[in-house]
């Protein structure tokens, strides 16, 4: 039985990837950081699975990671943990950069010392392309990061390449474009919109405050994207891959898709709050995932309209049940 370690298990991607690997017969060690409130909602459904073990870890703790490698002897490590909110990274840049950049450095050092055969996946991001005017972006596009978060992701991305070349590690980076789901964090814009629309529809909220509606993103489904992570580690050679849908839509398009299907008026319920704008914005993201299609045989299945509908129907059902105990 193969063993995989997943950092960031309590996050959106961690939970989907763990389910995917458990279904493939892996033993999965999920790593979570300690927090004062319980935040295991996304992993409660498989918490008791006989092939799943939850352990504490923090990206800032090198010794802890060494011990976990020695104890579980994994064949694969997926580094998904990060302070992943771009706007928050402007507010807590030092904490963000320490975790996002130095976390993978600590992990790669541990892998190289304990067992250089361990395959490593790094969660790189389309935010790394930043303000590059030459979209669509592929693996060779210039990285022009526009936030502390993206700068730190660029560091980690380059480091993975460096450890691959210098020490022959099987270390790959997935340059994933935005991916969403009913498990998306509630402060990211898509989930903020689907939760607010559900609450407004049920009479539990009146206004939704948003920032820049003009930014465009290439939005896919997280459940599809975790398969690509796994496929990267099954290849003979490590490499970098863009994972995207190849379509881009504005925040306003997403808002309209959700509000139209809920039959709600944007004019009546949505207001712009200047405090939600970022010091620097990434205006346009569009990915070209030709390489992943060709080499990994990977394809996105769920696209924009279906994704918006999936997220809204999940939230309206959940909030109705919570509010009215039906
Ligand atoms: P997420 O939902 O925000 O999950 C992040 C995870 O990292 C959570 O489990 C979080 O724990 C954990 N974490 C944060 N700081 C930590 C620390 N110092 N030590 C240990 N764990 C820590 O993010 P996601 O959407 O699943 O994304 C997964 C990864 O892909 C991230 O690295 C993100 O930057 C990257 N990425 C995401 C997207 C996207 O569109 N979703 C696109 C490209 C790249 P808590 O639950 O305690 O907060
Ligand atoms: O949903 P967002 O916060 O996601 P963002 O900044 O694109 O970052 C996400 O995707 C990256 C991949 O490209 C990941 F690396 C990263 O970890 C994260 O998962 O914002 C999307 C857009 C931005 O242009 C933002 O300015 O929505 C705009 N926006 C407008 N109003 C808002 C809001 N974003 C948030 N979070 N909240 C708003 O009220």
pLDDT per residue as tens digits for the range 80-108? 999 999 999 999 999 999 999 999 999 99
Q: What mean pLDDT, rounded, does the chain reach?
A: 98
Distance of CA 297 to the CA centre of its chain: 21
Does residue 325 surpass a pLDDT of 90?
A: no
Does residue 38 surpass a pLDDT of 90?
A: no
CB 245 less than 6 A from any atom of ligand 2:
no
Q: Are 255 and 310 in contact (CB under 8 A)?
A: no
Instruction: Kindly state the average pLDDT of the residues 259-273.
Output: 98
pLDDT band at 270, cuts 50/70/90?
A: very high
Of 304, 256, 270, 276, the C-alpha closest to 196 is: 270
Instruction: Kindly state the average pLDDT of the residues 273-280.
Output: 98
Tell me the catalytic residues: 125, 127, 149
Percent of the chain with pLDDT over 70: 100
Q: Report residue 137 as tokens.
A: 């972006």
Does residue 5 surpass a pLDDT of 70?
A: yes
Ligand closest to 254 (CA) is 2
Instruction: Kindly state the average pLDDT of the residues 16-23.
Output: 98
| Termini Cα distance of the chain | 42
Mutational pocket test of ligand 1: of 7, 9, 13, the residue with most ligand atoms within 8 Å of the beta carbon: 13
Predicted confidence at residue 12, as pLDDT, reads 98
Does residue 272 surpass a pLDDT of 70?
A: yes
Predicted confidence at residue 326, as pLDDT, reads 61
List, for residues 289-314, the tens digit of each pLDDT value: 999 999 999 999 999 999 999 999 99
> Which residue puts its alpha carbon closest to atom 10 of ligand 1?
8
Q: How far is the CA of 86 from the centre of ligand 2 (A)?
A: 7
Percent of the chain with pLDDT over 90: 98
Phi-psi region of 249 (alpha: psi -120 to 50; beta: other; left: phi over 0): beta
User: In this structure, what are the phi and psi dihedrals at residue 57, rounded to the nearest 5 degrees?
Assistant: -165, 150
Does residue 266 surpass a pLDDT of 70?
A: yes
Closest atom, ligand 2, to C-alpha of 176: 12
Q: Report residue 18 as tokens.
A: 């763990």
Predicted confidence at residue 324, as pLDDT, reads 85
CB 211 less than 6 A from any atom of ligand 2:
yes
Mutational pocket test of ligand 2: of 181, 188, 195, the residue with most ligand atoms within 8 Å of the beta carbon: 188
List, for residues 200-246, the tens digit of each pLDDT value: 999 999 999 999 999 999 999 999 999 999 999 999 999 999 999 99
CB 272 less than 6 A from any atom of ligand 2:
no
Q: How many CB atoms lie within 10 A of CB 157?
A: 23
Instruction: Kindly state the average pLDDT of the residues 10-34.
Output: 98
């Amino acid at each position: 039985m193969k063993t995989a370690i997943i950092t960031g298990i309590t996050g959106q991607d961690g939970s989907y990837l763990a389910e995917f690997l458990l279904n493939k017969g892996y033993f999965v060690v999920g790593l979570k950081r300690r927090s004062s409130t319980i935040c295991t909602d996304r992993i409660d459904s498989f918490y008791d699975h006989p092939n799943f073990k939850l352990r504490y870890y923090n990206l800032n703790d090198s010794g802890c990671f060494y011990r976990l490698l020695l104890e579980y002897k994994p064949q694969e490590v997926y580094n998904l943990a990060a302070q992943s909110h771009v706007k928050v990274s402007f507010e807590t840049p030092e904490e963000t950069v320490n975790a996002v950049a130095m976390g993978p450095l600590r992990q790669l050092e541990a892998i190289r010392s304990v067992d250089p055969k361990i395959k490593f996946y790094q969660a790189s991001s389309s935010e790394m392309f930043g303000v590059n005017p030459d979209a669509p972006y592929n693996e060779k596009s210039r990285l022009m990061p526009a936030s502390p978060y993206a700068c730190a992701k660029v560091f980690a991305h380059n480091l993975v390449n460096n450890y691959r070349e210098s020490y022959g590690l099987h270390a790959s980076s997935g340059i994933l474009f935005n991916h969403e789901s009913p498990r998306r964090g509630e402060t990211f814009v898509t989930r903020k919109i689907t939760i607010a629309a559900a609450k407004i529809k049920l009479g539990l909220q009146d206004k939704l405050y948003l920032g820049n509606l003009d930014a465009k993103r290439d939005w896919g489904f997280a459940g599809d994207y975790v398969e690509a992570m796994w496929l990267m580690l099954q290849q003979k050679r490590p490499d970098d891959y863009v994972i995207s849908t190849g379509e881009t839509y504005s925040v306003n398009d997403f808002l309209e898709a959700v509000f139209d299907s809920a039959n709600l008026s944007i004019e009546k319920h949505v207001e712009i709050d200047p405090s939600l704008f970022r010091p620097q914005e990434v205006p346009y993201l569009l990915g070209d995932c030709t390489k992943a299609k060709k080499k990994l045989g990977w394809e996105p299945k769920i696209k924009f309209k279906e994704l918006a509908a999936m997220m809204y129907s999940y939230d309206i059902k959940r909030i109705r049940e919570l509010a009215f105990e039906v």
